[in-house]
């Protein structure tokens, strides 16, 4: 079912909006002395990471496109490109994003690509642009396969994904507080996503939604922002550098060092690549489940509160190491 179909790249069209919004947020913070903080080196690192991510898409995007087009040739279904097809694709693609994002926190191989997005200790609109340079190597494009096999053209799938990323841009801010309850109940918001970027034990591994927070509510991964617990942004073990090369590749190098240690079994080597971040064969590190358990041992009164409920772990419960 090969055919030529193309959509504009919505993220490229949105660049002027991104720039304008960053300037407005910066000026707002400077004038009001609240709503976040900008640090020049941190913001520059985020912008460089964003530019590198665009370059990676230009250089390697043909791999995902080729894979999806192979599937398109195989499927007998074609849902067309109507507005309703786009709406359905957008909603289902956000469900796809939820699971890719969840895998990205619970499988170290995928976390190695995603970790750079969480490496800033600030939370402002430039943080939204701190994107991966190595997404192709996680092979998470396979999670788009069901959408194509259902009859959504690859170009439509990629267009919907771009719209998803544009939505996520504006939620990377402290300048916006909680929004009306009906909106907070259904949509991902700055409040919900601030929690996702927290390194507090309460806030680890939650709120994976891109657009619709209902996925987290459905799958038991939703944690609301607590008025009495300010979000502490960054990684469990912060990098302490603004070097974009280290930000982009440090976890991949860490995987290599771990799997090449002498004396490990094959199972241990594979676990260092695919088990939750924080796995160690000798117990020298902690996963997010272990961090939460240690917190509860010290603060048993928190048991049963948001972020410390006894929900079963998903595939490979991880942490931001």
Provide the 3-class DSSP secondary structure of residue 233: strand
User: To which residue do tokens 């000798």 refer?
Assistant: 282
pLDDT at 276: 97
pLDDT at 314: 45
Average of per-residue pLDDT across 19-43: 94
- pLDDT band, very low/low/confident/very high, at 34 (cuts 50, 70, 90): confident
CA 307 distance to own-chain centroid: 18
- pLDDT band, very low/low/confident/very high, at 10 (cuts 50, 70, 90): very high
Residue 238's φ and ψ, nearest 5 degrees, are -70, 150
Q: What is the pTM of this model?
A: 0.93
Where are the strands (E) in the chain, listed by range? none
* Model confidence pLDDT, tens digit, residues 53-85: 999 999 999 999 999 999 999 999 999 999 999
Listing DSSP states for 246-302 in one string gives HHHHHHHHHHHHHHT-TT--HHHHHHHHHS-TT--TTS-S--HHHHHHHHHHH-GGG
pLDDT at 313: 46
Q: Which H or E run includes 105? A: helix 83-106
> Does the structure show a pLDDT above 70 at 311?
no
Cβ-based neighbour number of residue 162 at 10 Å = 19
Residue-level length of the chain: 321
C-alpha separations of 210 from 19, 99, 207, 287 in Å: 21, 10, 9, 24
* Model confidence pLDDT, tens digit, residues 83-142: 999 999 999 999 999 999 999 999 999 999 999 999 999 999 999 999 999 999 999 999
Question: Please, what is the average pLDDT of the chain?
Answer: 94
CB 201 within 8 A of CB 297: no
Average of per-residue pLDDT across 230-254: 97
Q: ∠209-212-215 over CA atoms, to 5°?
A: 65
pLDDT at 285: 95
CB 103 within 8 A of CB 110: yes
């Amino acid at each position: 079912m090969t055919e030529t179909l193309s959509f504009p790249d919505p993220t490229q069209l949105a660049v002027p909006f991104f720039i304008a919004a960053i300037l407005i947020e910066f000026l707002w913070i400077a004038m009001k002395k609240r709503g976040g903080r900008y640090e020049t080196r941190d913001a520059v690192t985020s912008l460089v990471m964003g530019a590198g991510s665009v370059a990676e898409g230009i250089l390697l995007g043909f791999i995902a496109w080729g894979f999806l087009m192979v599937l398109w040739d195989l499927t007998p279904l074609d849902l067309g490109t109507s507005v309703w097809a786009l709406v359905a694709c957008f909603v289902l693609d956000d469900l796809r994003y939820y699971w890719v994002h969840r895998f990205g926190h619970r499988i170290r191989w995928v976390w190695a690509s995603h970790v750079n997005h969480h490496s800033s200790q600030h939370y402002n609109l430039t943080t939204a642009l701190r994107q991966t340079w190595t997404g192709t190597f996680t092979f998470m494009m396979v999670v788009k396969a069901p959408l194509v096999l259902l009859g959504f053209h690859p170009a439509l799938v990629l267009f919907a994904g771009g719209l998803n990323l544009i939505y996520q841009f504006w939620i990377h801010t402290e300048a916006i507080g909680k929004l009306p309850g009906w909106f907070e109940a259904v949509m991902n918001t700055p409040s919900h996503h601030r929690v996702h970027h927290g390194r507090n034990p309460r806030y680890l591994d939650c709120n994976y939604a891109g657009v619709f927070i209902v996925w987290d509510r459905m799958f038991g991964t939703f944690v609301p922002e607590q008025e009495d617990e300010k979000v502490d942004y960054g990684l469990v073990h912060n990098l302490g550098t603004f070097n974009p090369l280290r930000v982009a590749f440090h976890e991949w190098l860490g995987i290599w060092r771990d799997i090449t240690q002498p004396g490990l079994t094959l199972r241990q080597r594979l676990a260092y690549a695919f088990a939750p971040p924080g796995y160690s064969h000798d117990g020298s590190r902690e996963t997010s489940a272990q961090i939460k358990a240690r917190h509860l041992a010290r603060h048993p009164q928190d048991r049963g509160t948001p972020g410390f409920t006894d929900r079963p772990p998903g595939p490979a419960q991880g942490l931001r190491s």
